[in-house]
Structure 1
Amino acid sequence: MIGNWGRWGEQDQAGALNLVTPEVTRRAAGLVRSGRTLSLAQPLGPHTPSPGHRPGPVRFMNRDAGDYALGARAPGGFKFAEDTVQLPTHSGTHVDALSHAWSGEHLFNGHPESSTRTTRGAQRCGAEHLVPVVTRGVLVDMVATTGGPLPSRSPVEAADLERGIAEAGVTPEPGDAVLIRTGWWESHGTAADYFADEPGITAEAATWLAARDVALVGADNYAVERQTAEPGFPAHLVLLHRHGVPLIENLSLAALADTLAEAKRSTFLLLFAPLPLVGSTGSPVTPVAVL
């Protein structure tokens, strides 16, 4: 068996999100103390950075004040504005569905790659199978550990994760969401090389996380894993393809890190609820930390 293939049945398309059981959610609810909420998403709009192979988000106003200036009716004085937004599903803070990356001829759990070969979107492992979960979030703050944002192409190895989690006094448990702060968004969010040479986890670190049955992995960079001169995305294949662990990319983690440091804690309740976009390979998401 490859990773988690077959673990939740031959037809499973939710992957490691199955690890967030009612018991896991009840445990996470016990972490709430102040009730303070923090969005972990980057602002999403026309100025959101996009890599060269993806168009940026665009907005069209369907109705605005200009329509009324030109004589549009306002029954009873009522006026309204509406807009349409178009954006790639992998824009800004988003989650990769299990149809996003694979190797060979099969997606996660043995679903055929041909299920993505259609204008109707992914017929297997699409974003609609990213079930919403409430679980324990664990922040691994590499900025605090190393004294500043990680330099370009810096690897976050399994030993780094293990040390960072141990220093926080936490033991990873099945169903956890592990979020890794590299400082890349803070230091390069407006730089031209944000989409190149980023620091991040290695395949070894991805394997370490998968072995601990985490349900979600996220980071404050655009691909979670380190970018090198070598081709491919090996951590994507370890987590998405072999173990069915969705990846949350382009997180904003500085405010969370500061708040947790002040409270002398490293865990929190995480609300994860992506859009159920049928057939999409990813979805915009606004993860919410509750402290």
Structure 2
Amino acid sequence: MRVTTVAASAALMLLTVAGQAHEPGDHAPMQIAQAQAPGAAPAAPAAGGNWFPSKYGPNDTIGAMNLLTPQKVLEAARLVQRGQVYALGVPVGRETPAYPPRFAAVTVMMPDQFAGGIVPSENKVSYADDMFTGWLGVGSQLDSFAHLGIDNTFYNGNKAADFMRTTGVTKLGVESVPPMVSRGVLVNMAKARNKEMLDEGEIITADDLRAAMQAQGVAIRQGDVVLIHTGWVAMLERDPARFGRGEPGIDAGAAEWLAGQGVVAVGADTWGVEAVPFKNPNRIWEGHQILLAKNGVHILEVMDTRALARDGATEFLFVLGQPRLKGAVQAIINPIAIR
């Protein structure tokens, strides 16, 4: 399937360092289109718009995750009343739509077992191994603070030239993200707008989030993980090409407001959390810059929130132990919600 793509500035920065991008060949997935780039209560932003050093200290690397205290974990655990478990990750394969030039492929082999052979042994051992080829920002994913910055400066003032390496980042990698166990909040924007699914480019503002939460009887607390349900994830199965051409999502103001509430992560059932096409095509991925670079708030993409929305869930125990891939800036994940 061929779609029109516009090169991502963040990806281009990395490819400039890494050299020629890998060509996925005949197994390339449909590419995401219409995009140009993918403690105590938080203190107020520094005067003059300065965003580093971080309010958590000049050497901090975990951002808002500092707010995940044992007390917060216990608070979240008390939300479990039914023992009902929800997988929030989607299956990832060769055809999963991905932000260009990303793709993912699994190749299964039976080493040294040719033409139906077995491992030499009396008990006739057979085994299979698999090899992953691709990018880690495919399907349900976690964005680390090394993923996106502002003018080659990332969270807490870290310069790309100082820590960005083709062999893996030396700071801010996904392996250093603490386990994410907290209260999860679902904001059902599809329900708020009385529709099954929001449209591509449909913007969610801070006022929209506040109104939806008030109507749904839920409020954000410090240290929460906030997931936004738009219904868009259904397009993965119904129309993958449409899923990749755009998405509903938050604007910069909503990102600012969420960060100001002291949340540790913001996610959605879309591939980029922000509304695409962008309202102003000359200002792209500002929400990512606000959350990741300026406030140290992680982003969770392609969260399958359908079951939570169907069951009317508004709060739950959220659990994520991401793959600890050393030096990676993203990770394919499957968070769990428990009620």
SS at match of 2:137: coil
CA drift of 1:280 comes to 1.0
Of residues 251, 270, 281, the one that matches 1:230 is: 281
Structure 1 position 240 matched with structure 2 position 292: yes
Q: Distance in 1 between matches of 2:115 and 2:318?
A: 43
Correspondence for 1:139: 186
Q: What SS does the aligned partner of 1:27 have? A: helix
Runs (4 or more) in structure 1 with deviation over 4 Å come to none
Q: How does 1:53-132 map to 2 (within 5 A)?
A: 53-54=101-102, 56-63=103-110, 67=114, 69-70=116-117, 72-132=119-179
For residue 72 of structure 1, report the CA deviation from its aligned partner. Answer: 4.3
Question: Contact conserved, 1:5 with 1:242, CA < 8 A, in 2?
Answer: no
For the Cα contact (< 8 Å) 1:206–1:239, is it kept in 2?
A: yes
The 8 Å contact of residues 54 and 295 in structure 2, kept in 1 or not, is answered as: no
- Checking the alignment, whether the CA contact within 8 Å between 2:119 and 2:125 is kept in structure 1 is no
- For the residues of structure 1 that align with 2:90 and 2:223, how far apart are their CA atoms? 24
Instruction: Let me know the Cα RMSD of the aligned residues.
Output: 1.9
- Which deviates more from structure 2 when the two are superposed, residues 249-258 or residues 182-191? 182-191
Report the 3-state secondary structure (helix = DSSP H, G, I; strand = E; otherwise coil) of the residue aligned with 1:179.
Answer: strand
Counterpart residue type for residue 242 of structure 1: K
The CA distance in 2 between the partners of 1:66 and 1:121, in whole Å, is 34
Map 1:119-268 onto structure 2 (within 5 A).
Answer: 119-148=166-195, 149-187=197-235, 189=237, 190-227=239-276, 228=278, 230-231=281-282, 232-259=284-311, 261=312, 265-268=313-316
1:40 aligns with 2:88: yes
- Partner amino acid, structure 2, of 1:257: A
- Give the structure, 1 or 2, with the largest relative contact order (CA under 8 Å, sep 6 or more): 1
Give unmatched runs, 5+ long, in structure 2.
1-45
Q: CA deviation at 1:53?
A: 1.5
Write the letter of the residue equivalent to 2:281: E
- What's the CA shift for 1:188? 5.2
Where 2:142 maps in the other structure, the secondary structure is strand
**Deviation at 1:47?**
2.6
When normalised by structure 1's length, the TM-score is 0.92
Give the Cα–Cα distance (whole angstroms) in 1 for the partners of residues 188 and 100 of structure 2: 29
Mapped partners of 1:188, 1:71: distance in 2: 39
Deviation at 1:176, TM superposition (A): 0.2
What are the Cα deviations for residues 232-267 of structure 1, in whole angstroms up to 9, with x where unaligned? 2010011011001010001111111112x1xxx410
What is the TM-score when the length of structure 2 is the normalising length? 0.80
CA contact (8 A) 1:97 1:126 kept: yes
Match of 1:24, SS state, is helix
Bigger shift: residues 212-221 or 56-65: 56-65
Partner of 2:59: 11
Counterparts of 1:67 and 1:117, CA distance in 2: 42
CA pair 98-24 structure 1, distance change in 2 beyond 3 A: same
Q: Which residue of 1 aligns with 2:16?
A: none
Aligned counterparts of 1:113 and 1:82: Cα–Cα separation in 2: 36
Deviation larger for 7-16 or 72-81: 72-81
1 CA distance for matches of 2:257 and 2:269? 19
Deviation at 1:197, TM superposition (A): 2.5
Q: Distance in 1 between matches of 2:138 and 2:236?
A: 17
1:111 partner amino acid: N
SS of the residue 2:153 aligns to? coil
Aligned-residue offset at 1:203: 0.2
Q: CA deviation at 1:7?
A: 2.1
Matched length: 286
Give the counterpart letter for 1:230 in structure 2.
Answer: P
Q: In the alignment, what sits opposite 1:280?
A: 328
The DSSP-based 3-state class of the residue aligned with 2:213 is: helix
- The answer (yes or no) to whether the contact 2:98–2:137 under 8 Å persists in 1 is no
Q: Percent identity?
A: 30
User: Conserved in 2, the CA contact under 8 Å of 1:201 and 1:235?
Assistant: yes
Alignment gaps of 5+ in structure 1: none
**CA–CA separation in structure 1 for the residues paired with 2:132 and 2:112:** 18
